[in-house]
Structure 1
Amino acid sequence: MSTATETRRFEAEVAQVLHLVTHSLYSHKEIFLRELVSNASDACDKLRFESIAHPEWIADDGELRIEISVDREARTLSVSDTGIGMSRDEIVANLGTIASSGTRRYLEALSAEKKADANLIGQFGVGFYSTFVVADRVSVTSRRAGETTGVRWESDGQGEYTLADVEVARRGTTVTLHLKPDENEFLQAWTLRSLVARYSDHIAFPIRMPKEADSAPTDEWETVNSASALWTRPKADLSDEDYQGFYKTLSHDFGDALAWTHNRVEGNQNFTSLLYVPAKAPFDFGNGRDERKGLKLYIRRVFIMDASEQLLPAYLRFVRGVVDSDDLPLNVSREILQQNRQVERIRGACVKRVLDLLDRVARDETDKYATFWGAFGNVLKEGIAEDAGNRERIAKLLRFASTASEGTTPSVSLDDYVGRMQAGQDVIWYITADSHAAAKGSPQLEALRSRGVEVLLMSDRIDEWMAGYLTEYAGKKLRHVAKGDIELDAADAERHKASEEAASGLVERLKDTLGERVRDVKVSKRLTDSPSCLVLDEYDMALHLRRVLKQTGHDMPDSAPVLEINPAHALLKRFEGEHDAARAEDLALLLLEQAQVAEGAQLDDPAAFVQRLNRVLLG
């Protein structure tokens, strides 16, 4: 017997999602069925795990299954499961709110495009709401395992929903869609069967539908999916379509996976892994690590938990897939996982499989790897610092722009660079900057460029931090062109020494004029065309990274730079011959300020810089 009905309003963001979903044109509106079946499968997985501790919860009905049925007269489509079910509070939490950090970006994406792309659904925890694309009213009836009463949730998607306690004959959840007038196709059994085959064939629980006789449903049910865990089947029996179909069910991604690796390990420890690399990052994928649900841990086909933190390091958090162990105890907890040696071995094997897979794609499918790098390259770079044991392998997978490559797309590997090194060159040169243009146009590259030496151009924020750990590759040292001293051959060293001696007076005058604004002034080995540049000591932090850290609230000690000059440049000649003290100071400050601008720095007093520049131009 139902009780009094309570009416509530959706949270603001849910209301926005519903408005956009119901007023947008989906290119694949049938995606709602995949989402409902996937949710039902999750509910069955949860009950299978919980029943280990509470066997009485499945005593009356031990079969975990999903059922799809239609009532053509009432124009309803129902998806039921015998899973864990939901309590009243869980229904409110799951259907009245959206607990996704990416919801705001989801809303912005829909608003900007005016069209809801199917690959957005599922990535923001909003898959259930796709039902309102085809239904003008949706009801959810659920009874949680272990409880005696159920609850009914109902809404027309217009901003409110109702709740009522009801008597429910069995545990689990039933979602009923009251279809819109023009959605007759979803009342046809053959349509639903084909959608199950396309999107949900590899769900590990039986999906059943009523058998039909003379185009009418009967009381007899039949299973319409393969109902077996795909990862347990031999690879020889699986097609690419099988793997891609399972990936979409697993990840809620409408697009195909970029690549995958399927392995069975037997011996002292037995486990199966099926790991996928997505082709693109979801909208809510960032560098934050508060939500990592890429891998699902199964034990003897029983779902245990989302265990990405234990099974893969953070720099591989983009990987999706399953790991199924034969040896771990069914009552394993996150705390036990963190201290379990078997899990450490599984983790090591998963890391190796992923790196092997990426290495193969990078070697054999360069276009695919370029797609991967654009989506996840900066995440992979974190592994240089976090995984010292695999540092060389990860470094082999890195891609950079360079002075020898076309455009801004990173396409140069460290092996490519080493293969092109000049005779006698024993250093891999690189530069970090705020942008590709700033790196490519840096005056510090001039001497190396004039000698035909390739330089890697790094312009992502993570690069300076990463380079602090990547100090060597293939026996070659990595050196920042703007840090420390540059070695010259004997002839160039002799010419440089003569230039230093000739410019000693100029250097001293610049030091006196600039005072504490600089730590030192030197004749440059780097410059051939520009008048000046800033350099750092070997282990100093790059200036652009100092600025980023300072902008994010970190306390950075004041540090004056070293100014290197090109005595042959006309501006230095002009400074050297300037007798007016005020104009000489203007010239000295401009030499420093233009070096700062070339580094991407924001000048302390831009107005004074403009005035100085005008005085020099007009003087």
Structure 2
Amino acid sequence: MSTETFEFQVEARQLLQLMIHSVYSNKDVFLRELVSNASDALDKLRLAKLRDDALDADVSDLHIELEIDRDARTLTVRDNGIGMSYDEVGELIGTIANSGTAQFLKELKEAQDAAGAEGLIGQFGVGFYSGFMVADEVTLVTRKAGEKQGTRWVSRGEGTYTLERVDDAPQGTSVVLHLKPADPDNQLHDYTSVWKIKEIVKRYSDFITWPIRLVGEQAAKDGKDAKGGEGGEGDDGGTAAPETLNSMKALWARPRDEVSEDEYHELYKHIGHDWREPLETIQLHAEGTFEYQALLFLPSHAPHDLYQQNMRHGLQLYVKRVFIMDDCEALLPAYLRFVKGVVDAQDLSLNVSREILQQDRHIRMMQRRLTKKVLSSVKSMLADAPEKYATFWREFGAVVKEGLVTDPDNRDALLAVASFASTREDDGTVTLAQYVERMPEDQDDIYYVTGESREAIVNSPHMEAFRERGIEVLLLTDPVDEVWVDAVGEFQGKRLRSVAKGEIDLDTREDDRSEDEQKQQAEAYAGLLGWMRERLDDDVKEVRLSTRLTRSPACLVADADDLTPALENMYRAMGQEVPRSKRVLELNPDHALVKGLNEAYGEREDRAELADTAELLYTLAVVAEGGRPKDPSRFVQLTADRLERTL
């Protein structure tokens, strides 16, 4: 048969550089690409045979074979699928090459959206040419099902390739990679190693529908070596029975009643690198114009790197059961980064990059659906498995609440599954819906307090009036709580209100004073309040009488729209400049210390000594809320002086 030589329209090296550096970052993926092409060929033959039973093709044992020849340094990927005709080889194998590198780049730049760009990158030729990352020469032999004659394609990637018609080609396609010389310093990329080939197949193609078999003498030799020179079952003097390398168990594609919980758990442990069982298994089958399957797992404990910037996300992306990437952060929002699992799409390109995934409309659609599925599963746990939910929220609640700030579209769903510690719950938590349901009829707001720990805030001076009246207060101790409460604002028409912000009048005083009596008290303290406001001008914006204090002499509160000190510190830690805001000092007019200070203020003309008392009162309020005195040594000295006078 005559052999025809064709020249690439552009220098092959330039094309290969584009493919290697722009599309692939890991050379191991060449085998993924070739196996994927073989799997597609088998899928096409099965479909063609179903449509045309008269098609002269053997479909009794569709499979993929891998064969290593270490002496010749070749790796062969062979399938008995649909195959290609002479013309199709020129069209399909040469698509990218014949378009020219310049034209390819031009079309890539002109693509109006990411889907268009991925369509260009995902053409068959790109995946096939990835073989040149590891091979000096590639030989392809193929015969289309139903035809008698085959085709041989050969190229060294140096500007030309040859096409030849052959008579002895079996059905399907065989790709022989003549591997580059061995690198003694890089044994991890020795593609004549049976171990390496098994590792790549297990990583990238374990769930391919068709069996991937390792055949040939090299597999038999390595099998003997692994057994100390003993031949395994099927050993007949150097040729072993084919070994199937992939499990072909795409659990996500099987009905749930056909898969045991143990099988799900084993998959979770494999992809999640976790020896404990998952808390919940979530399965999703999406059909329609864009089909995909998902098998997700909620872990039973938080990973150690949950709050680190470089934390690896838990989802793996497959396309038609071919592994594309792990750590696929585009499939779920960051506040669900702990979710582990697999998503298998039917209509994505194998060569999608992370940048393309961020913009792809199908990926965005999948993210929305997967997010809703996870949140609905958590809601079901809350209703049906409270112990499971309690574990989930303890481990991941602080992360999930990030979504209240970053994901307004799902805010209602997040509020429905969020729960919080409260003054009515010693150990458990309460949802906002439960809080509203048990609110007294005369209560209009949902009250909360933020702080570093339950112990620090449950006895806060701000809580005194609420505790005395038995009003439930949510205890928010996660850093994100400082942010989301302002972003959310209300729930079911009830305002979220901090007990440490703004003026609060709960009418808790037992003497039930009249308005005239309250007015007289305000006039009696007016002079002291104005004087203290001047003395403490560097630290407070106002000094006023408090209706929230019943035992403590003073407390500091922020205006309703002010940032809390904790939030100010959080922004500064993130490198944002936030001006220091002054707060309001509230005094308890029924406290003996405040009464005595007011009497002394009215009796003395020389109030220099009272200035130290005013400063001490302010610093006590700072310490009561867990703050640090501006001048600790001065605070200690003032306190010691006052104690000395009591002796």
TM-score range, shorter chain: 0.5 to 0.7
- Asked if the contact 2:208–2:322 (Cα under 8 Å) also holds between the matched residues in 1, the reply is no
Aligned to 1:419: 437
Give, in whole Å, the separation in 1 of the partners of 2:319 and 2:38: 17
Aligned to 2:171: none
Q: Does 1:250 find its partner at 2:271?
A: yes
Q: Deviations over 1:250-274 (max 9, x none)?
A: 1111111110111212123221111
SS at match of 2:305: coil
What's the TM-score once normalised by structure 1's chain length? Answer: 0.67
Give the AA of the match of 2:537: G
SS at match of 2:64: coil
Shift of 1:64: 6.8
Matching residue within 349, 353, 371 for 1:351: 371
Give, in whole Å, the separation in 2 of the partners of 1:391 and 1:280: 24
Could you say if the C-alpha distance between residues 169 and 587 of structure 1 is closer, same or farther in structure 2, counting changes exceeding 3 Å?
closer
- Asked if the contact 1:596–1:603 (Cα under 8 Å) also holds between the matched residues in 2, the reply is yes
- Asked if the contact 1:261–1:276 (Cα under 8 Å) also holds between the matched residues in 2, the reply is yes
Matching residue within 601, 610, 613 for 2:636: 610
Aligned to 2:64: 63
Matching residue within 491, 495, 516 for 1:473: 491
Shift of 1:169: 4.3
- Asked if the contact 1:384–1:470 (Cα under 8 Å) also holds between the matched residues in 2, the reply is yes
Q: Does 1:173 find its partner at 2:196?
A: yes
SS at match of 1:254: coil
- Asked if the contact 2:461–2:552 (Cα under 8 Å) also holds between the matched residues in 1, the reply is yes
Give, in whole Å, the separation in 1 of the partners of 2:388 and 2:328: 24
Aligned to 2:394: 374
Could you say if the C-alpha distance between residues 51 and 149 of structure 1 is closer, same or farther in structure 2, counting changes exceeding 3 Å?
farther
Aligned to 2:182: 150
Aligned to 2:549: 527
Give, in whole Å, the separation in 2 of the partners of 1:516 and 1:170: 74
Q: Which range is displaced more, 421-430 or 200-209?
A: 200-209
Give the AA of the match of 1:454: E
Give, in whole Å, the separation in 2 of the partners of 1:337 and 1:547: 35
Matching residue within 480, 483, 486 for 1:462: 480
Could you say if the C-alpha distance between residues 150 and 531 of structure 1 is closer, same or farther in structure 2, counting changes exceeding 3 Å?
same
Specify every segment of 5 or more residues in structure 2 that has no aligned partner in the other structure, as ranges.
1-25, 40-62, 69-74, 79-126, 135-175, 215-219, 236-240
Aligned to 2:291: 270
Matching residue within 322, 326, 332 for 2:352: 332
Matching residue within 591, 607, 616 for 1:590: 616
Aligned to 1:111: none
Shift of 1:307: 6.1
Give, in whole Å, the separation in 1 of the partners of 2:188 and 2:643: 82
Give, in whole Å, the separation in 2 of the partners of 1:434 and 1:171: 55
Give, in whole Å, the separation in 1 of the partners of 2:485 and 2:76: 52
Aligned to 2:448: 430
Shift of 1:356: 0.9
Give the AA of the match of 1:150: A
Q: Deviations over 1:514-562 (max 9, x none)?
A: 3333211011121111110001111111112223444565433132221
Could you say if the C-alpha distance between residues 423 and 591 of structure 1 is closer, same or farther in structure 2, counting changes exceeding 3 Å?
same
Give, in whole Å, the separation in 2 of the partners of 1:459 and 1:164: 51
- Asked if the contact 2:295–2:342 (Cα under 8 Å) also holds between the matched residues in 1, the reply is yes
Give, in whole Å, the separation in 2 of the partners of 1:518 and 1:301: 64
Give, in whole Å, the separation in 1 of the partners of 2:195 and 2:514: 81
Shift of 1:474: 1.8
SS at match of 1:359: helix
Give, in whole Å, the separation in 1 of the partners of 2:272 and 2:326: 12
Q: Does 1:304 find its partner at 2:318?
A: no
Aligned to 1:93: none
Could you say if the C-alpha distance between residues 145 and 225 of structure 1 is closer, same or farther in structure 2, counting changes exceeding 3 Å?
closer
Give the AA of the match of 1:406: D
Alignment of 1:175-190 (within 5 A): none
Q: Deviations over 1:31-59 (max 9, x none)?
A: xxxxxxxxxxx99877324666999xxxx
Give the AA of the match of 2:618: L
Could you say if the C-alpha distance between residues 223 and 544 of structure 1 is closer, same or farther in structure 2, counting changes exceeding 3 Å?
same
Give, in whole Å, the separation in 2 of the partners of 1:375 and 1:52: 39
Could you say if the C-alpha distance between residues 167 and 449 of structure 1 is closer, same or farther in structure 2, counting changes exceeding 3 Å?
closer
Matching residue within 44, 48, 52 for 2:32: 48
Shift of 1:479: 0.6
Give, in whole Å, the separation in 1 of the partners of 2:577 and 2:180: 59
Q: Deviations over 1:75-95 (max 9, x none)?
A: xxxxx99999x99x99xxxxx
Query: RMSD of the TM alignment (CA)?
Result: 4.0
Q: Does 1:285 find its partner at 2:311?
A: no
SS at match of 1:477: strand
Q: Deviations over 1:296-317 (max 9, x none)?
A: 2222212222363221111111
Could you say if the C-alpha distance between residues 544 and 167 of structure 1 is closer, same or farther in structure 2, counting changes exceeding 3 Å?
closer
Give, in whole Å, the separation in 1 of the partners of 2:190 and 2:578: 64
SS at match of 2:544: strand
Aligned to 1:405: 425
SS at match of 1:404: coil
Give the AA of the match of 2:547: K
Give, in whole Å, the separation in 1 of the partners of 2:554 and 2:471: 20
Q: Deviations over 1:288-341 (max 9, x none)?
A: 2x4443212222212222363221111111111111122334443434333332
Shift of 1:492: 7.2
Aligned to 1:566: 588
- Asked if the contact 1:150–1:165 (Cα under 8 Å) also holds between the matched residues in 2, the reply is no
Give, in whole Å, the separation in 1 of the partners of 2:291 and 2:319: 11
Give, in whole Å, the separation in 1 of the partners of 2:247 and 2:189: 34
Q: Deviations over 1:562-616 (max 9, x none)?
A: 1000011011122123346343122111110011112222212111101111111
Give, in whole Å, the separation in 2 of the partners of 1:65 and 1:245: 27
Give, in whole Å, the separation in 2 of the partners of 1:166 and 1:297: 24
Give the AA of the match of 1:601: G
Matching residue within 443, 461, 466 for 1:443: 461
Give, in whole Å, the separation in 2 of the partners of 1:256 and 1:381: 24
Aligned to 2:383: 363
Could you say if the C-alpha distance between residues 294 and 500 of structure 1 is closer, same or farther in structure 2, counting changes exceeding 3 Å?
same
Aligned to 1:127: none
- Asked if the contact 1:586–1:612 (Cα under 8 Å) also holds between the matched residues in 2, the reply is yes
Could you say if the C-alpha distance between residues 222 and 447 of structure 1 is closer, same or farther in structure 2, counting changes exceeding 3 Å?
same
Aligned to 2:49: none
Give, in whole Å, the separation in 2 of the partners of 1:278 and 1:468: 30
Shift of 1:618: 1.9
Q: Does 1:294 find its partner at 2:317?
A: no
SS at match of 1:345: helix
Aligned to 1:133: none
- Asked if the contact 1:362–1:397 (Cα under 8 Å) also holds between the matched residues in 2, the reply is yes
SS at match of 1:367: helix
Give, in whole Å, the separation in 1 of the partners of 2:641 and 2:561: 38
Specify every segment of 5 or more residues in structure 1 that has no aligned partner in the other structure, as ranges.
1-41, 56-61, 68-79, 91-143, 153-161, 177-195
Aligned to 2:529: 507
Give the AA of the match of 1:401: A
- Asked if the contact 2:559–2:583 (Cα under 8 Å) also holds between the matched residues in 1, the reply is no
SS at match of 1:499: helix
Give, in whole Å, the separation in 1 of the partners of 2:366 and 2:513: 55
Give, in whole Å, the separation in 2 of the partners of 1:64 and 1:466: 55
Aligned to 1:599: 625
Aligned to 2:470: 452
Shift of 1:470: 1.9
Could you say if the C-alpha distance between residues 493 and 591 of structure 1 is closer, same or farther in structure 2, counting changes exceeding 3 Å?
farther
Q: Deviations over 1:17-37 (max 9, x none)?
A: xxxxxxxxxxxxxxxxxxxxx
Shift of 1:367: 1.9
Shift of 1:425: 1.1
Give, in whole Å, the separation in 2 of the partners of 1:223 and 1:272: 25
